[in-house]
Amino acid sequence: MSTENEGTAVPADHPVAPSTPSTPPTPPTPPTTPSASVPAAEPAPAPTPSDAPTVAQSPVPEAPPAQAQAQAQAPAPAPAPAPEPTATVPTPTPTPAAAGAGWPPPPPTVPAWGAPLPPAPAAPAAPRRRTGGLVAAVLVAALVAGGIGGGIGYWAAQRGDEGVSSTTVSSGEAPASFKREPGTVAAVAAKALPSVVTIQAKSGGSQGEGGTGTGFVYDQEGHIVTNNHVVASAADGGTLSVTFPDGKSYDAEVVGRAEGYDVAVLKLTNAPKGLKPLPLGDSDKVAVGDSTIAIGAPFGLSNTVTTGIISAKNRPVASGDGSGGSNSYMSALQTDASINPGNSGGPLLDASGAVIGINSAIQSTGSGFGQSQAGSIGLGFAIPVNQAKNVAQQLIRTGRPVYPVIGATVNMQEQGEGATIASQGSGGTPSVTPDGPAAKAGLKAGDVITGFGDHQIDSGPSLISEIWTHKPGDQVKITYERDGKTSTATVTLGERTGDS
Whole-number Å distance between alpha carbons of 385 and 380: 15
SS3 assignment, position 213: strand
| Whether residue 455 lies in the annotated active site | no
Burial of 145 (0-12, 13-18, 19+ CB in 10 A): exposed
From 229, 321, 328, 447, active-site residue: 229
Distance CA(462)–CA(500), nearest Å, equals 20
Where do the H-state alpha helices sit in 414-459? 437-440
Catalytic site residue 229? yes
Helix (H, G, I), strand (E, B) or coil at 393: helix
Length of the chain: 500
Which positions ≥6 away from 258 have C-beta within 8 Å? Answer: 228, 264, 391, 394, 395, 401, 499
Looking at 223, 262, 302, 360, which residue is catalytic?
Answer: 262
The bridge status of strand 485-492 relative to strand 448-452 is unpaired
3-state secondary structure (DSSP) of residue 233: helix
Rg (the chain; Cα; Å): 51
**Angle of CA points 370, 333, 357, to nearest 5°:** 90
CA distance 97 to 472: 134
Whether 500 is catalytic: no
Instruction: For 341-372, give the DSSP string.
Output: TT-TT-EEE-TTS-EEEEEEEEEETTTEEE--
Given 283, 302, 344, 360, which residue is catalytic? 344
Sign of the C-alpha dihedral computed for residues 254, 256, 262 and 266 taken in this order: negative
Q: Active-site residue numbers?
A: 229, 262, 344
